[in-house]
């Protein structure tokens, strides 16, 4: 299947969410590259979300995992000086709700500061942990649905070269300094940093805490 180039905010979020499902599936089989079944999972979910035959999952799984891992920082695993961090900062419009709160050590909380998850990862030039990205995408989709923003047209991403570009081009090309001038304050999350391409499974292993129970 040809790579999808999302045209709207909703397509961007759904495409990322579907790729996330593919990444979770790909991580299960311990093969370095995605398999046919992984692409089928992604495509079925993406077009199902567009047609309304599939739905974004609730935060139940995210919250259960948060409880299970509440003794460690969700970003680095440290068990020292734990705090609560808003995945999407409150001053940007992130809610003070359980869905938006994660456990973070003081060091990560301080480093992340006023950035949201994707902005912070872009600054560190790292792909976000899958489970955090799952929560982040759910929050972003929830916000856009509630505020009628899913059909807003996206500005084309500069130099969209899906087959040639590196996995992290999206992050690199939308660095915070480059984005700050044109960023709309209306978005509480980093719409320009929503990942449309994901690392191969071989590069995801270290980023998925456990191999079990890792679906969308």
The residues binding Zn ion (CB under 5 A) are 73, 75-76, 78, 105, 108
CB of 206 to Zn ion, least distance (A): 16
CB of 103 to Zn ion, least distance (A): 9
Rounded CA Rg of the chain: 16
CB of 109 to Zn ion, least distance (A): 8
| CB-nearer residue toward Zn ion: 131 or 157 | 131
| CB-nearer residue toward Zn ion: 22 or 104 | 104
- CA atoms of 216 and 205, how far apart (whole Å): 16
CB of 72 to Zn ion, least distance (A): 8
User: Six-digit token pair at 144?
Assistant: 């856009």
Among 101, 97, 87, residue whose Cα is nearest residue 188: 87
CB of 123 to Zn ion, least distance (A): 15
Among 62, 35, 84, residue whose Cα is nearest residue 142: 62
| CB-nearer residue toward Zn ion: 11 or 62 | 62
Q: How many residues does the chain have?
A: 216
| CB-nearer residue toward Zn ion: 74 or 140 | 74
- CA atoms of 207 and 154, how far apart (whole Å): 29
| CB-nearer residue toward Zn ion: 50 or 72 | 72
> What are φ and ψ of residue 103, in 5° steps?
-85, 125
Which residue bears the tokens 């995992």? Answer: 65
């Amino acid at each position: 299947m040809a790579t999808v180039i999302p045209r709207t905010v909703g397509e961007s979020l759904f495409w990322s969410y579907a790729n996330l499902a593919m990444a979770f599936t790909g991580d299960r089989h311990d093969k370095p590259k995605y398999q046919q079944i992984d692409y089928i999972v992604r495509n079925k979910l993406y077009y199902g979300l567009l047609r309304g035959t599939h739905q974004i999952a609730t935060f139940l799984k995210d919250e259960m995992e948060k409880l299970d891992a509440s003794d460690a920082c969700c970003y680095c695993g440290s068990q020292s000086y734990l705090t609560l961090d808003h995945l999407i900062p409150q001053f940007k419009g992130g809610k003070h709700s359980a869905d938006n709160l994660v456990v973070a050590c003081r060091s990560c909380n301080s480093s992340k500061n006023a950035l949201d998850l994707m902005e912070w990862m872009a600054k560190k030039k790292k792909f976000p942990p899958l489970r955090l990205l799952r929560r982040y995408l759910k929050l972003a989709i929830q916000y856009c649905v509630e505020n009628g923003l899913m059909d807003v047209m996206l500005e084309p991403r500069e130099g969209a070269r899906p087959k040639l570009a590196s996995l992290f081009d999206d992050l690199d090309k939308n660095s915070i300094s480059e984005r700050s001038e044109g960023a709309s304050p209306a978005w509480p999350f980093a719409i320009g940093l929503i990942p449309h391409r994901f690392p191969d499974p071989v590069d995801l292993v270290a980023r998925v805490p456990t191999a079990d129970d890792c679906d969308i």
